[in-house]
Chain A
Amino acid sequence: MSMLAYAESATSSSSDTEPDAQVDFTTMLVQRQRGCESGSKLHTTDADQEQQEQDQGYYLEQYVLGVLDFSSQYGIDYSISYTASNVIGRPTKFPAYGDYPETFTMRTYGDWWQRAPSATRDIQPQNMPPIDTHDYIVVYFEEFVVPTEVAIFETFNPGAVVRIWAYSMTKHWHCLWEATAKDLNYLCHDSRRFAPPLKKTSIITKTLRIEFNHSNLNYYTEIDAIMLCGRTVSHRRIQNLLGKARAHSQTQISLAASALGSSSTALAVGHGPISCKLRSLKFQPICRSDNNADADPVTGACKKFINDFINNDLSQFLLDNRLANEMVEQQQQQQLQEMQLTPANVHAQAAARRICLTDLPFEILLKILSYLDLQSLFRVGQVSRIFYDISTHPLLYVEINLKPYWQLANSELLCTLARRATILRKLDLSWCGGFGDVSPTEFKKFLTQRGDNLTHLRLNSCKFLNASCIETVGIVCDNLNELSLRNCATDPPLLNFSCLVNLKNLERLDLFQTAFETELLLSMLEGNRKLKHLNLAFCGVSVNMDNVAAHLANYNTQLVSLDMWKAHFLTARGLQSLSHCHQLEELDLGWCLREASLGDGLYQLLVNCPKLRKLFLSAVRGTTEHDLRHIAQLGKNLEQLDLMGILNITHERVYDILIHCPKLQLLDLSFCENIMDRDFDILADWSRLFKVNIKSSRIYDPR
């Protein structure tokens, strides 16, 4: 009897042809019961009953057990204030609303960082989805479930969540929910439990990825907890699926082309009947107008014109053309009947009159296809030989951005791209390769083949990077202008390889949240005299910032932007060294200096760097009233000023600054206890009067 029951279960599970189990509980239960009843009832063993109970599963709500990855956080790694680890466990502050340190906060908000001098342009911008992702966090839970609800507890400035992904047991990411423009316009000043309607799915998961977009936010958003609700699945089933997934991954041949060519949902591996695939193939070009191009009215207008034409009128144009051709054909046929030419001739003549896309010159087609995003480009290549030849032309692969396709990027894709991208200049592999999809060897091969002309390389949050990858970067890509290695914090630090010193042309170096050896950084600074943008936020406690500042003063006087958020060991001496960089437009000294007194440092800086547009002095508690006076006097070009948590601020100084800094757009006065005591509305009035966005958040202390 027991054999029958197991056999029953075996057939039911093997009837799932797709790796993602179609878990139909009712049918399963009915089958079990039938299986039990078909045998003798007397022989029902305990094992069967257990199995029945196990297979039924139960509804489970669970909170985060651990954090696997995040793109940025406000606090520093070893702290528990404003860091990603606060997402773990039950919500501590919800439903209270306020700026609490026991929550997860990200580093940026609004579009202020896009307006700053250090803002970067997207590589291959047409790849970007309409609602971009700025930050993400990957969390895991304890039990595997079939997700029915994901609730996110937001305790400050809600409304930043844009996508929820789940990682199924078949090693694929599935998008459970995606925001529309309407969702982003949520402006409410109250904490909320955000549980959007998820797609109906039957995947089994315990890892989630939440993506955020801050552009509409007034201030930082803070997340207290994440809850995953769903039905559990029996352990036996999980083991079965794991076994099948392993076998499956060994035998599958996942071509990168097919991965991008087919629809981006569960059937990414190219399974399923061909008719399904054909049905889901849609040629819908995503023509995004480049923001910078709008500055030039001619190209901007042209692009807009082309956008409109392709989206609205192309189909009509082709239809009209076909009709026109048909009319011409009819005329010809009439002429034929009059002239009695042979049908073959007519056919040839008629054929000659038909205009189709492939008749356009190669360069025009190339130009048309250059507006396509990468996914559409791969799909176009599947249309015909001609289109395949055009779509694989190297000129279309000068800039490659795989960040919006992070869930699809794998080693095979890199291989395919390596064949096509012979004149690659800009490469963005940010966020790709988590969970071992991209192998370091493949990446190194790619770089060695195609990396010598690279000018921009972005490898933010790439988990596959190891020591030899960085070495390859250093050796191969010596024309690099921009190197971005954000969030590569590993132990031991990656950047202790002298190969990176080979890079001599760097203008932008981004080491946000990445550990590095001070010696290496100093030698890189010495080598790259043209360095303009340097980001050393969260660089850790082992770096002596005074030394770095001294080097900057000596070797990198062209520096335009510098970010030293939460750097330790910066003193007034370092600040004075920084004043040698006369081109400085952006300086972020948040949480540096701590209680140390600034001395003359800030004054020297303001005098010697008149172009300063963005100055962040968050929690630089040593700022005195004199310093604030100097800011007002000398900060003529200041656009963004952050004075959070500074104790000695008075209303007079704030007024001073507002009057004397005509270009000021952002003034952050949160947690300045002195001015909070008085009437809150004064700040609101000034904000309106001077047209400055004044932030004044604080912990709302319930008394």
Chain B
Amino acid sequence: MHSLNWTSRVISRALRSSFSTLLETATNRTGNGSVKSSSSRSPTPTPQRPHFVSVVCGFAKDNLRHKYKPGKYGEDSWFKASTEQADVMGVADGVGGWRSYGIDPGEFSSFLMRTCERLVHCSHFNPQRPVNLLAYSYCELMEQKKPILGSSTACVLILNRETSTVHTANIGDSGFIVVRQGEVVHKSEEQQHYFNTPFQLSLPPPGHGPNVLSDSPESADTMSFPVEDGDVILIATDGVFDNVPEALMLQVLREVEGERDPVKLQMTANTLALMARTLSLNSEFLSPFALSARRNNIQARGGKPDDITVVLATVAI
């Protein structure tokens, strides 16, 4: 019910700011000799405008069960999209606890990301409000004939070409890191209710609403900051942040600053993902996850086996 009220509020707000998937009618449109398209589907901007050079890499937690499908790594999912106005990237991590209820956790996160990708190309996409993107994507869930249940965290990042600023929205324990000149300049905060229970967008099965943790997109953590040429941005799910210590990540990311060759970038992303994977399967290593567990009075040791998704991008202006 809570999600129902919330979505209606968002939608009524959106309608009041007069948005509609139909373009504004124009009886004089047919009279015009040429029509400028507002959000064209052709993605390549002119080289002078700021854009991301981005690559993706990842591993599913159990490679054997999940056949590789583009756009997902196990229960994690990611998307990349670009329009004339903006470059958008995002990751989502499906909460695995649903499997015991017979619900595929990857479905929710995958749907969220696919819909975000579609929404980026819509006429009402606002490049300065990634929260709206998440919100509309979440609303779309309820308009599907096929019932999609589950929950997931999400992190969306938009580069607005006009102003060379990055707007982000993050719910849960996925996140991003921005590295400039060997230093971390921006980092997302992990949102958790309690240990190992992050904030999550969820759609519970009917009747179980009150029993399930469900956060609205409005509780997302938003940040906006300007970026410069050569900045490295890493968006990843908790599989990376819980296994790779920050110093190690910094070492890797520092080397690709200013890199515009996607091949080199891909190599670094692969390195990072492999690092996370190896460390997650290592049972002795004191990973960040183990450290935070100990802070919560849980004797843990070793990495945390989890799906790993790495979206690595450099800003080129």
**Interface residues, chain A, with chain B CB atoms under 8 Å away:** 65-69, 75-85, 89-90, 99, 101-102, 140, 142-144, 167, 169, 206-207, 235, 238-239, 242, 434-436, 463, 491, 540-542, 568-569, 591, 594-597, 619, 621-622, 624, 644-645, 647, 670-671, 673, 698-699
- The CB with the most chain A CB atoms within 10 A, among B15, B23, B41, B146, is that of B146
**Is residue B63 within 8 Å, beta carbon to beta carbon, of the partner chain?**
no
- Contact between chains at A619 and B145 (CB < 8 Å): yes
- Contact between chains at B206 and A78 (CB < 8 Å): no
- Contact between chains at B207 and A542 (CB < 8 Å): no
- The CB with the most chain B CB atoms within 10 A, among A68, A144, A569, is that of A68
- CB-based A-B contact count at 8 angstroms: 127
- Contact between chains at A673 and B207 (CB < 8 Å): no
A239 proximity list for chain B (CB < 8 A): 33
- Contact between chains at A621 and B206 (CB < 8 Å): yes
16 sample A-B contacts, Cβ–Cβ < 8 Å, listed by A number: A68-B25, A77-B22, A79-B139, A80-B115, A81-B144, A89-B121, A99-B145, A238-B33, A436-B27, A541-B8, A594-B4, A595-B1, A595-B204, A619-B147, A644-B145, A673-B147
Interface size on B, residues (CB 8 A): 44
A143 proximity list for chain B (CB < 8 A): 34
- Contact between chains at A79 and B143 (CB < 8 Å): yes
- Contact between chains at A622 and B207 (CB < 8 Å): yes
Q: Report Cα–Cα, A99/B118, bound state, in Å.
A: 18
Known: A84-B22, A491-B18. A76 touches B143 (CB 8 A): yes
Known: A77-B21, A239-B33, A595-B1. A647 touches B206 (CB 8 A): yes
- Looking at the complex, which one of B14, B33, B140, B203 makes contact with A235 (CB distance below 8 Å)? B33
Known: A65-B37, A622-B207. A101 touches B30 (CB 8 A): no
- Contact between chains at A85 and B35 (CB < 8 Å): no
B53 proximity list for chain A (CB < 8 A): none
- Contact between chains at B147 and A647 (CB < 8 Å): yes
A207 proximity list for chain B (CB < 8 A): 29-30
Known: A90-B41, A140-B30, A595-B206. A78 touches B144 (CB 8 A): no
- Contact between chains at A621 and B122 (CB < 8 Å): no
**Is residue B12 within 8 Å, beta carbon to beta carbon, of the partner chain?**
yes
Closest to B29 in A: A140
**Is residue B97 within 8 Å, beta carbon to beta carbon, of the partner chain?**
no
B209 proximity list for chain A (CB < 8 A): 595
- Contact between chains at A142 and B206 (CB < 8 Å): no
Closest to B4 in A: A594
Q: Report Cα–Cα, A434/B14, bound state, in Å.
A: 27
Cβ-closest 7 pairs across A and B = A85-B21, A621-B206, A66-B23, A79-B143, A622-B206, A81-B143, A595-B206
**Is residue B11 within 8 Å, beta carbon to beta carbon, of the partner chain?**
yes
Query: With A78-B20, A80-B119, A670-B145 given, can you name 8 additional A-B contacts, CB distance below 8 Å?
Result: A78-B136, A81-B144, A82-B145, A90-B41, A144-B33, A541-B8, A595-B209, A673-B146
A591 proximity list for chain B (CB < 8 A): 143
**Is residue B31 within 8 Å, beta carbon to beta carbon, of the partner chain?**
yes
A619 proximity list for chain B (CB < 8 A): 145, 147
Closest to A63 in B: B41
Q: Report Cα–Cα, A84/B4, bound state, in Å.
A: 24
Q: Report Cα–Cα, A699/B206, bound state, in Å.
A: 21
Q: Report Cα–Cα, A380/B13, bound state, in Å.
A: 56
Q: Report Cα–Cα, A77/B12, bound state, in Å.
A: 12
- Contact between chains at B207 and A85 (CB < 8 Å): no
B205 proximity list for chain A (CB < 8 A): 621, 647
Q: Report Cα–Cα, A65/B8, bound state, in Å.
A: 29
- Contact between chains at B145 and A671 (CB < 8 Å): yes
A624 proximity list for chain B (CB < 8 A): 207
Q: Report Cα–Cα, A140/B32, bound state, in Å.
A: 12
Closest to B23 in A: A66
B115-146 CB mask vs A (1 if < 8 Å, else 0) is: 10011011000000000000010011011111
Known: A90-B41, A101-B145, A698-B146. A80 touches B4 (CB 8 A): no
B146 proximity list for chain A (CB < 8 A): 645, 671, 673, 698-699
- Contact between chains at A78 and B19 (CB < 8 Å): yes
Smallest beta-carbon distance A61→chain B, Å: 15
B25 proximity list for chain A (CB < 8 A): 68-69, 463
A542 proximity list for chain B (CB < 8 A): 12, 15
Known: A596-B4, A622-B207, A698-B146. A83 touches B21 (CB 8 A): yes
Q: Report Cα–Cα, A435/B31, bound state, in Å.
A: 11
Q: Report Cα–Cα, A650/B115, bound state, in Å.
A: 30
Known: A78-B20, A595-B209. A206 touches B30 (CB 8 A): yes
- The CB with the most chain A CB atoms within 10 A, among B203, B206, B207, is that of B206
Q: Report Cα–Cα, A85/B123, bound state, in Å.
A: 10
- Looking at the complex, which one of B15, B22, B30, B33 makes contact with A85 (CB distance below 8 Å)? B22
Q: Report Cα–Cα, A674/B145, bound state, in Å.
A: 14
- Contact between chains at A435 and B27 (CB < 8 Å): yes
- Looking at the complex, which one of B19, B27, B118 makes contact with A102 (CB distance below 8 Å)? B118
Smallest beta-carbon distance A80→chain B, Å: 6
B1 proximity list for chain A (CB < 8 A): 595-596
- Looking at the complex, which one of B30, B41, B140, B145 makes contact with A169 (CB distance below 8 Å)? B30
Closest to A138 in B: B25
B35 proximity list for chain A (CB < 8 A): 65, 140, 142
Q: Report Cα–Cα, A140/B25, bound state, in Å.
A: 11
Smallest beta-carbon distance B111→chain A, Å: 10
Smallest beta-carbon distance B124→chain A, Å: 9
Smallest beta-carbon distance A25→chain B, Å: 19
- Contact between chains at A67 and B22 (CB < 8 Å): yes
Q: Report Cα–Cα, A142/B31, bound state, in Å.
A: 12
A491 proximity list for chain B (CB < 8 A): 18
Smallest beta-carbon distance B134→chain A, Å: 15
- Looking at the complex, which one of A69, A76, A77, A167 makes contact with B30 (CB distance below 8 Å)? A167
Q: Report Cα–Cα, A90/B41, bound state, in Å.
A: 9
Smallest beta-carbon distance A108→chain B, Å: 16
B144 proximity list for chain A (CB < 8 A): 81, 101
A101 proximity list for chain B (CB < 8 A): 143-145
Q: Report Cα–Cα, A571/B31, bound state, in Å.
A: 48
A99 proximity list for chain B (CB < 8 A): 145
Smallest beta-carbon distance A135→chain B, Å: 16
Q: Report Cα–Cα, A624/B118, bound state, in Å.
A: 33
- Contact between chains at A67 and B23 (CB < 8 Å): yes
- Contact between chains at A79 and B30 (CB < 8 Å): no
- Contact between chains at A597 and B206 (CB < 8 Å): yes
- Contact between chains at A594 and B20 (CB < 8 Å): no
A645 proximity list for chain B (CB < 8 A): 145-147
Smallest beta-carbon distance A314→chain B, Å: 44
Q: Report Cα–Cα, A524/B31, bound state, in Å.
A: 41
Closest to B20 in A: A77
A81 proximity list for chain B (CB < 8 A): 140, 143-144
B14 proximity list for chain A (CB < 8 A): 78
- Contact between chains at B21 and A78 (CB < 8 Å): yes
A568 proximity list for chain B (CB < 8 A): 4, 8, 11
Smallest beta-carbon distance A358→chain B, Å: 46
Known: A90-B41, A541-B12. A82 touches B147 (CB 8 A): no
A238 proximity list for chain B (CB < 8 A): 33
A699 proximity list for chain B (CB < 8 A): 146
